[in-house]
Structures are given as structure tokens and as C-alpha cells.
């Protein structure tokens, strides 16, 4: 069962990455306090925007080319790597020129080092995409585990001994460089890649195909990160730190959704060539299983937000609880957008993502400018959920128009459960005792499991077809 093996490896990698990232953020938040933590998330927000330039959407396009032409993997990898290196140098120059004008006084050096770590990390991401395309997921999981442990250990040492944002930033930059070098050596040896002079034709093809995805990524980050930048400008780094504490839970799920998309993309590219029937079954199955997992998780985060924030961050972050109660529901739409956005790429329709993300970025930035000044942290949460809903639902509609899947039954019942739980959050029921809210969360989980059981025929037939040896032929 090749697909089952890959899914298991991907799940392990997701858990490792999300867990390490979550532990890192909690470590920094508790160790440095809301103000320094706000400076850290400001640097992350700015750095993620700058890192779009070297990233340039190359990872997913490289997966598509390598899956379709494995014999030319070395050529595609060399071309993509050279392009990423050149763009990375430009991104570093941009960060060095702009950051001193934007960063909070005394934090510009630390902010630059954090941005540098994000740019360097794009080298490891490029290697990861080639390993995914070559179906070396278990091997990549081991590399990722080692990298996350190294980063977490270095950050912990910096927080406990350096006790400053600058010490933390230096540790992150150094570990990013070490991880990138390890990924490069391991990928070349594992896949027996060899150096080839970058092909002008290949570079041109990558630029043309990846440009819409690069713009899409930039627009996505704008509607994900603009709130942090605006909160810092309007209310200071402490308010940004409170919002980031709530947003961290969404980021953990974001890592899982992004990894899910990376794993499923090669599979959907292969199935797209087998005809409409094979692709429809898998889209329907993936949508059902995805919603069955994410809806109860969102309900738990939303209804139990005060207790979760208190347990994880302490009383200093009490202001993050109302934001988390709202932000939790963005996860449902985020997963839908990730899954169905990858399907649009598999269908060679990445240009639709470009226009959708442009619209979402405009809506998000405009709404944040109008809302954050008046409503602060909670307003930023409302805008995030609305923007994710716009993207996730539109991606689903576009995929359904192209393929006829997923069926309405795949989303109707989870949508009803999510709506019921969300109404409880904004009603007086949100002030109910913990035991009652906990029972509501369990009720949401039971309702989803009941829905899965009622629709067991089509769902599990699709799962069995995807995981059985016959269904995995050519996977």
C-alpha cells in the first residue's frame, strides 16, 4: 500500500513540524514576554513576505515537473536551485535596506537575522519538494525531525542563556544554514542527482509556471500577515504578541495543511491523467476525511479558548483568548483552501489562484486598516476568518466546476456542525462552565463520526480504493 505508507510518513512529518514549531513559539512567548514576542512575530511577518521572492512558488512547480519527467530530475533541480539562489541574494539586499526603517528601535539587527533565517530555509524547502516528488517521504521525515530538534535546542539555549531577542535570532540563522546544507547533501546523495548546467529553457519554464503561484503566495501572506504589521503600527508590539499567541494555534494547523497539500499534489497529478472518475473519487474522499478531522478541532479551540491560553501561555496572555475563539474557525476554511488549491495546480489552473489571492489580499488589507484601529486584536481575528472563508470556499467551487467533485454531501453536514458550534461561541453559552463546553466539543466530534458512519459506503469505498494495492498502481 504505497499511498498508505506515504500518508503515514507525511502524517509523522506533520506532527513533528507542527509540534516543534508550536514548542518553539511557546518557548519564546513564555521566555521573553509579550513585548519581545511581538518583535519576534513582526520579524516573522516581514520575513515571510520578503522570502516570497526566493521561494517564488518553485516548490510545487518542481514537484509537477519531476513527477512527470523523473529522468530529468537533476536538470530541473539545478535550474530551480540556481534561480532560488539568485533571488535569495536579492531578497537579503531588500531586507537589509528596508528593515531599519520599519523595525522597532533596538530590534532591527535581530529582525534582520530572523528574516535571513527564513530566506536560507527556502533551500531546504526546495530539497524537500524533490524528495516528495521522488516519493522519499520517510527519508524526508527523518531529515525534518533532525532539523526541528536542532532548531528547538538552539532556540532554547538562546532563550535561557542569552535571554534576548538578538541571541534567539542569531541561533535561528545559524541553525537554518546548517539544516539547509544537510538537506542539500542528503537529497543529492539519496536521489543520486548530478550537477547539470542550468538550462535557460528550464529556467524560463519554471519562471512562467511559478510566477502565478509566487504572486498567490505573496497575496496569501499579505492577508495572513498584514494584521500583525498593522497591529504593531497601531497598538505596539505587545498587542501583536497577544494576537500572535492566539494565531500560533492556527499556524500549527497551517503547517499540517501545507504539508498535506505537498503530499497530495503528486498523487492528484498522477490521478488526473487516469480520467475524471478516478480523480472525483479521491477528491470526494479527501474532502470528507479532512472536514471530519478539522471541524471538531476548530470547535475545541474555540469553545475552550480561555483554558487553552491559560494553560499554554499563562495569565500574561489573557488577551489572546477572545482572538483564539474567533481564529479557530479560520482553520476549517484554511484546510479547504489548501486541499482544493493544490487540486487547481494539479489541473494546471494556478492562474485562478493568482486572481483569487489578489482579491483576498485586497479585501484583507483594506478590512484590517478599517477594523484594527477600532477593534484591535479581536478585529484582526474577524478579518482573518472572513478572508480564509473567501479563499477556501472559492477554491472548492472552482474545483467542483472543473471536476464535479466534491459532492454537496461531503461538506453539508460538517458545515452544519461548525455553524452550530460557532453560534455557541458568540452566544451567552460561551460563558458556560468548562464541563458544559467540553461536552459540546465532544458532541461535535460525535456528530462528525455519526456523519462518517452514515455515509460509510461512499467514503470508505473511496478510502479502500485509494489505499488498496490495485488502487495504488502507478502511485
Q: Which three cell numbers stand for residue 107?
A: 530590534
Spell out, as residue ranges, where the chain has pLDDT lower than 70.
1-16, 254-267, 269-278, 425-431, 455-475
Q: Sign (positive/negative) of CA torsion 43, 48, 49, 50?
A: positive
Whether residue 36 is contained in a domain is answered as yes
Whether residue 10 is contained in a domain is answered as yes
- With cell 494495492, the residue in question is 469
Give the pLDDT confidence score for residue 192 in this predicted structure.
85
Treating both helix axes as pointing N-terminal to C-terminal, what angle do 2-50 and 200-235 enclose, rounded to 10 degrees? Answer: 60
Whether residue 157 is contained in a domain is answered as yes
DSSP tally for the chain: helices H, then strands E:
17, 0
Cα separation, 323 vs 242, whole angstroms: 9
Whether residue 394 is contained in a domain is answered as yes
Contact 219, 360 (CB under 8 A): yes
Cα separation, 347 vs 396, whole angstroms: 13
Cα separation, 249 vs 328, whole angstroms: 8
Exposed / middle / buried, residue 199 (Cβ in 10 Å: 0-12, 13-18, 19+): middle
Give the pLDDT confidence score for residue 466 in this predicted structure.
45
Q: Report the largest interatomic distance among the alpha carbons of the chain, rounded to a whole angstrom.
A: 65
List, for residues 203-229, the tens digit of each pLDDT value.
887 777 777 777 777 777 777 777 888
Cα separation, 323 vs 321, whole angstroms: 5
How many residues are listed for the chain in this entry? 475
Cα separation, 213 vs 52, whole angstroms: 10
Whether residue 474 is contained in a domain is answered as no
Whether residue 472 is contained in a domain is answered as no
Cα separation, 360 vs 219, whole angstroms: 7
Q: What share of the chain is helix, strand, coil (3-state, %, to 5)?
A: 90, 0, 10
Exposed / middle / buried, residue 423 (Cβ in 10 Å: 0-12, 13-18, 19+): exposed
Q: Three-state SS across 417-445?
A: HHHHHHHHHHCHHHHCCHHHHHHHHHHHH
Whether residue 48 is contained in a domain is answered as yes
Give the pLDDT confidence score for residue 475 in this predicted structure.
35
Those residues whose C-beta lies under 8 Å from the C-beta of residue 376, and which sit 6 or more positions away, are 231, 234, 235, 239
User: Between the CA of residue 59 and those of 169, 210, 431, what are the distances in Å?
Assistant: 26, 9, 45
User: Between the CA of residue 195 and those of 81, 95, 108, 186, 191, what are the distances in Å?
Assistant: 11, 30, 38, 14, 12
Concatenated DSSP letters of 341-359:
HHHHHHTT-HHHHHHHHHH
Give the pLDDT confidence score for residue 467 in this predicted structure.
41
Cα separation, 170 vs 427, whole angstroms: 46
Give the pLDDT confidence score for residue 275 in this predicted structure.
59
- Residue 408: how many other CB atoms lie within 10 Å: 9
Number of domains in the chain: 1
What global pTM score does this model have? 0.68
Separation of CA 422 from chain center: 23
Q: Sign (positive/negative) of CA torsion 62, 68, 70, 74?
A: negative
Closest CA to 7 of 251, 414, 409, 285: 285
Containing structural domain, residue 210: 2-467
Q: Which three cell numbers stand for residue 58?
A: 518553485
Whether residue 35 is contained in a domain is answered as yes
Closest CA to 83 of 214, 217, 203, 210: 203
Cα separation, 268 vs 67, whole angstroms: 11
Closest CA to 382 of 432, 328, 338, 437: 328
Radius of gyration of the chain (CA): 22
Amino acid at each position: 500500500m504505497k499511498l498508505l505508507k506515504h500518508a503515514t510518513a507525511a502524517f509523522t512529518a506533520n506532527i513533528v513540524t507542527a509540534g516543534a514549531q508550536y514548542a518553539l513559539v511557546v518557548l519564546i512567548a513564555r521566555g521573553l514576554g509579550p513585548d519581545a514576542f511581538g518583535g519576534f512575530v513582526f520579524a516573522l511577518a516581514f520575513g515571510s513576505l520578503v522570502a516570497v521572492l526566493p521561494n517564488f512558488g518553485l516548490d510545487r512547480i518542481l514537484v509537477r515537473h519531476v513527477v512527470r519527467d523523473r529522468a530529468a530530475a537533476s536538470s530541473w533541480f539545478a535550474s530551480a536551485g540556481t534561480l532560488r539562489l539568485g533571488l535569495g541574494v536579492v531578497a537579503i539586499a531588500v531586507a537589509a535596506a528596508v528593515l531599519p526603517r520599519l523595525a522597532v528601535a533596538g530590534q532591527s539587527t535581530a529582525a534582520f537575522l530572523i528574516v535571513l533565517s527564513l530566506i536560507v530555509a527556502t533551500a531546504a524547502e526546495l530539497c524537500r519538494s524533490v524528495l516528495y516528488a521522488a516519493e522519499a517521504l520517510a527519508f524526508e521525515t527523518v531529515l525534518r525531525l533532525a532539523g526541528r530538534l536542532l532548531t528547538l535546542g538552539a532556540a532554547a539555549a538562546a532563550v535561557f542563556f542569552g535571554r534576548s531577542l538578538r541571541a534567539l535570532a542569531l541561533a535561528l540563522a545559524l541553525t537554518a544554514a546548517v539544516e539547509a546544507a544537510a538537506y542539500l547533501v542528503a537529497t543529492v546523495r539519496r536521489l543520486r542527482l548530478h550537477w547539470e548546467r542550468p538550462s535557460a529553457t528550464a529556467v524560463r519554464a519554471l519562471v512562467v509556471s511559478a510566477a502565478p503561484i509566487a504572486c498567490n503566495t505573496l497575496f496569501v501572506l499579505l492577508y495572513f500577515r498584514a494584521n500583525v504589521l498593522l497591529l504593531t503600527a497601531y497598538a505596539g508590539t505587545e498587542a501583536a504578541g497577544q494576537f500572535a499567541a492566539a494565531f500560533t494555534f492556527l499556524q500549527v494547523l497551517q503547517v499540517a495543511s501545507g504539508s498535506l497539500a505537498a503530499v497530495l499534489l503528486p498523487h492528484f497529478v498522477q490521478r488526473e491523467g487516469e480520467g475524471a472518475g478516478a480523480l472525483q473519487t479521491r477528491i470526494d474522499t479527501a474532502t470528507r476525511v479532512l472536514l471530519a478531522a478539522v471541524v471538531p478541532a476548530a470547535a475545541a479551540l474555540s469553545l475552550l479558548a480561555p483554558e487553552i491560553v491559560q494553560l499554554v501561555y499563562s495569565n500574561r496572555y489573557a488577551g489572546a483568548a477572545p482572538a483564539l475563539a474567533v481564529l479557530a474557525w479560520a482553520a476549517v476554511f484554511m484546510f479547504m483552501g489548501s486541499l482544493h488549491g493544490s487540486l487547481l495546480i494539479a489541473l494546471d489552473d494556478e492562474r485562478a489562484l493568482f486572481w483569487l489571492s489578489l482579491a483576498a489580499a485586497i479585501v484583507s488589507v483594506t478590512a484590517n486598516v478599517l477594523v484594527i484601529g477600532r477593534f484591535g486584536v479581536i478585529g484582526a481575528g474577524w478579518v482573518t476568518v472572513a478572508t480564509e472563508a473567501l479563499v477556501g470556499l472559492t477554491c472548492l467551487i472552482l474545483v467542483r466546476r472543473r471536476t464535479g467533485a466534491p459532492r454537496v454531501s461531503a461538506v453539508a453536514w460538517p458545515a452544519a456542525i461548525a455553524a452550530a458550534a460557532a453560534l455557541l461561541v458568540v452566544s451567552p453559552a460561551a460563558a458556560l462552565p468548562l464541563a458544559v463546553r467540553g461536552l459540546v466539543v465532544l458532541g461535535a466530534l460525535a456528530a462528525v463520526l455519526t456523519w462518517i458512519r452514515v455515509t460509510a459506503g461512499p467514503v470508505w469505498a473511496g478510502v479502500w480504493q485509494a489505499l488498496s494495492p490495485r488502487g495504488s498502481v502507478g502511485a
